[in-house]
Amino acid sequence: MENFYNLVPLIVIIPAIGLLINLFAGKHLGEKGVGIVAVGASTGAFLVSVLLWIALVDTGFEAAVVNMPLLDGWIRIPSAGVEIPWQFRVDTLSVTMMLVVTGVGTLIHLYAVGYMHGDERFPRFFVYMNLFLVFMLTLVSGNNFLMMFVGWEGVGLCSYLLIGFWFDKPRGEGWRNSDAARKAFIVNRVGDFGLVLGVLITFWTFGTLDYYKPHEEPLHVAAHGAEESAPVFAPDVPEAGEAEHAPSGPLGVFNQAQLWLEEGGHRVDFGLFSMSFEATLTVITLLFLLGATGKSAQIPLFVWLPDAMAGPTPVSALIHAATMVTAGVYMMVRSNVLFHASDTTSFVVTLIGAATALMAGFIAMGQWDIKKVLAYSTVSQLGFMVAAVGVGAYAAAMFHLVTHAFFKALLFLGSGSVIHGVEHGHHHVAHAHEGEHHAEPFDPQDIRNMGGLRHRMPVTYWTYLIGMLALAGVIPFAGFWSKDEILLDTLKLGTEQGRLDGYIGFVLLLIAAVFTAFYMTRQVALVFWGAPRTEAAAHASESSPTMTVPLVILAVLSVIGGLMNIPDGFPVLGSLFGVHELTSWLEHSVVYAHAGSFNFLLATVAVLLALAAIYAGRLVYNDRVLRTLRLDPLEADPRTSRAFALANAKLYWDEFYFKYIVYPFRDAAHWLADRLDWAFWHDFVHNEVIYGTFQRATRVLTEPVDRGLIDRAFNAIGETIRAAAARLRTIQTGYVRTYALSVLFGALLVMFIILLPVIRELLGM
């Protein structure tokens, strides 16, 4: 089975081959051929992931580092001692991400074949989708921060291409789509700047970017906050007390960090100043957090994700449910050794995650776009994962990442099925009323235009309802298990260790969970319950099996997904399926992973609050309200109208950024371009100072010097020569006798000059 590890390069190569085939031959393959190639490439990568999972289980979860053929010396500068290989790391954390990315990605690819049917750029879409898998799998499978950063930037590029895929739609929609793509790209660059700085400081501090060297393995330590007594290295690497016998050359980043933390007193020299190693780790992890707030859509860089719904629905599901937005969470869990060492960073991470979860959950209650509700829901659930990292619940964060991939992909694809069905109904109505003028454009994503779809789209409805219950955290659906574990770990941080961030995080996350159940009930009620509110909804039809089969599979996973990590102490299910299996799996690669226990009281309270929120949502959005819907009931009620207006306006985040960042930046850019660059630098400096001075100098040189002095001098010489020539010209008579006489006198003169010395001698002179 160890030979299976050598298959890991195929995880990237297979999707790369798929995209190249569709890139160069897609136009000739047709939709069926393109779909087979794209889905086949994703499926092939998933099968490789399964084989790697089998290999890990068979070898006792022993991690491996595999060199990429021809790229083992990717970056090598011997004079500077820099060597960064292109290496794949196969361990339980990376394989978990591979299974999620390729498994859910394959279902999304299959769904997209039906969803994108008839699109004129069908092959290009699947080229981008396969390219996205290539970069995401590069990100999660690399053994160093630089390789991770290549994938990190690659998924940013793919998100830009896919979000703005429909850039040419009419009536200004194409402009909005392209603006959303640029917004996602630019906002992520802000976070990426922090990540780049963090990676550079990491390299300066440790002399390497490798997570672990091939001969090193991380070992387990005690749970977060408990007494840590485990050794820092595996048996073939010296322990902290034997550091003087350590092998030559730098260790991997994480083992070296553990060693220095164990020794204590280490300082990092930055030339002009030095910092303690602990302070350096705080700086590095805060910069990493900035990168995570961009990719994983946290305060203050979350604003790109809701607008990113402009892309086709499969893009929303792939990027914002299972892959790209989880990159920040994966990066922080992978760097758990560094984050665990900084209480300051942990505090900030917890507050940002919990605040984001609450804020996004509140905004979701006031949105009308079916996909934007889910977008803010994604931001909120990512807040749960980030908060889990902050409290040291790394396994719980990964658990929620996996379950969220199931039910959020289900909900996004379900929303796409709804949009597809409503569009079909609208086309049916438009065809029936062909020739009539319709003044207002129809928005198939506005939930006010829906209603009663559970009868028209039963498969979509029941699978969507399962996704809604899983997201709301209702037992026994997958979301209950992972969300409950995060809440419990957050509460324990406060009660057992007296940490303020634990108490704050728990309260904010619990309220966010209530918001989640309420806004999902609101969405399901407005979309599926009651009577159709438009003719398009009344004539909607169920989607094709290509789209509904992935929904059914994801619904099953949303029901049973939580069984992979049953907490210790839960009756019956623990003995049937084993306890904290996922955590035990992750403990082999996540140093500070720890298993959670079951708290009956907390679980009961959380479920009762979720059910109460669902019940309240149903009371507010009852059949009578749904039949006569003009305003949202929360908007019509004076007691809640202001809160609803704030939620609908997205708490004015965009307006805030436009007023204090975008518009000042634009004004500064205009001033720099118009005033500084054009008026001052171009018109004044170039035209007046440089060009004007040159012109004035040339006029001086031209008039007084050139024409007044030089020209007059040469003209005078010319006049003198001309005058002399005029006088000499008079001797030119034209008579031969004159010329003969001149020759005679000339000859006599020459003879006289020659004989002059003799004459002088004869005369005694």
Q: Average pLDDT in the 537-546 region?
A: 90
Residue where a domain stops, chosen among 625, 648, 671: 648
Please count the residues of the chain.
Answer: 765
Query: Is this structure's pTM higher than 0.75?
Result: yes
Is 67 exposed, middle or buried (CB count within 10 Å of its CB: 0-12, 13-18, 19+)?
middle
**CB contact at 8 A, 598 and 512:** no
Give residue 433's pLDDT band: very low, low, confident or very high (50, 70, 90): low
Max CA distance (Å), the chain: 155
Q: Average pLDDT in the 320-324 region?
A: 74
Based on the fold, state whether residues 520 and 534 are members of the same structural domain: yes
In a domain, 193, yes or no: no
Q: Is 322's pLDDT higher than 80?
A: no
Which token pair is 372? 């934007």
Torsion of CA 495, 501, 506, 507, to 10 degrees: 110
**CB contact at 8 A, 75 and 82:** yes
**CB contact at 8 A, 102 and 46:** yes
Based on the fold, state whether residues 639 and 712 are members of the same structural domain: no
Q: Is 26's pLDDT higher than 50?
A: yes
Based on the fold, state whether residues 579 and 674 are members of the same structural domain: no
In a domain, 715, yes or no: yes
Based on the fold, state whether residues 702 and 568 are members of the same structural domain: no
Which token pair is 282? 């705080």
In a domain, 113, yes or no: no
Please give the residue that has the higher pLDDT: either 265 or 132: 132
Domain count across the chain? 3
In a domain, 34, yes or no: no
Angle at 73 between CA 69 and CA 77, to 5 degrees: 170
In a domain, 223, yes or no: no
Angle at 187 between CA 184 and CA 188, to 5 degrees: 80
Q: Average pLDDT in the 336-350 region?
A: 95
In a domain, 18, yes or no: no
Give residue 237's pLDDT band: very low, low, confident or very high (50, 70, 90): very low
Please tell me the predicted confidence (pLDDT) of residue 443.
82
In a domain, 634, yes or no: yes
Which of 2-16, 237-251, 593-607 is predicted with the least confidence, judged by mean pLDDT? 237-251
**CB contact at 8 A, 318 and 381:** no
Residue where a domain stops, chosen among 601, 619, 648: 648
pLDDT tens track for 105-162: 999 999 999 999 888 899 999 999 999 999 999 999 999 999 999 999 999 999 999 9
Which of 199-213, 312-326, 395-409, 522-536 is predicted with the least confidence, judged by mean pLDDT? 312-326
Which token pair is 193? 């700047």
Please tell me the predicted confidence (pLDDT) of residue 740.
87
The whole domain housing 470 covers 393-429+443-648
Based on the fold, state whether residues 541 and 662 are members of the same structural domain: no
Which token pair is 368? 């009308």
**CB contact at 8 A, 446 and 584:** no
Other beta carbons less than 10 A from residue 738's beta carbon? 12
Based on the fold, state whether residues 541 and 689 are members of the same structural domain: no
Based on the fold, state whether residues 663 and 579 are members of the same structural domain: no
Based on the fold, state whether residues 596 and 511 are members of the same structural domain: yes
Based on the fold, state whether residues 603 and 702 are members of the same structural domain: no
Please give the residue that has the higher pLDDT: either 627 or 497: 497
CA distances from 535 to 426, 430, 432, 433, 629 (A): 7, 10, 11, 11, 15
Please tell me the predicted confidence (pLDDT) of residue 224.
39
Angle (deg, nearest 10), helices 394-432 and 478-497: 140
Q: Is 246's pLDDT higher than 50?
A: no
Residues contacting 535, CB < 8 A, separation 6+: 425, 426, 429
Q: What is the DSSP letter of 227?
A: -
Is 80 exposed, middle or buried (CB count within 10 Å of its CB: 0-12, 13-18, 19+)?
exposed
In a domain, 543, yes or no: yes
Other beta carbons less than 10 A from residue 420's beta carbon? 23
Q: What is the DSSP letter of 755?
A: H
Give residue 74's pLDDT band: very low, low, confident or very high (50, 70, 90): confident
Based on the fold, state whether residues 560 and 609 are members of the same structural domain: yes
Residue where a domain stops, chosen among 616, 648, 680: 648
Based on the fold, state whether residues 630 and 668 are members of the same structural domain: no
At 349, which amino acid appears?
Answer: V
Based on the fold, state whether residues 503 and 524 are members of the same structural domain: yes
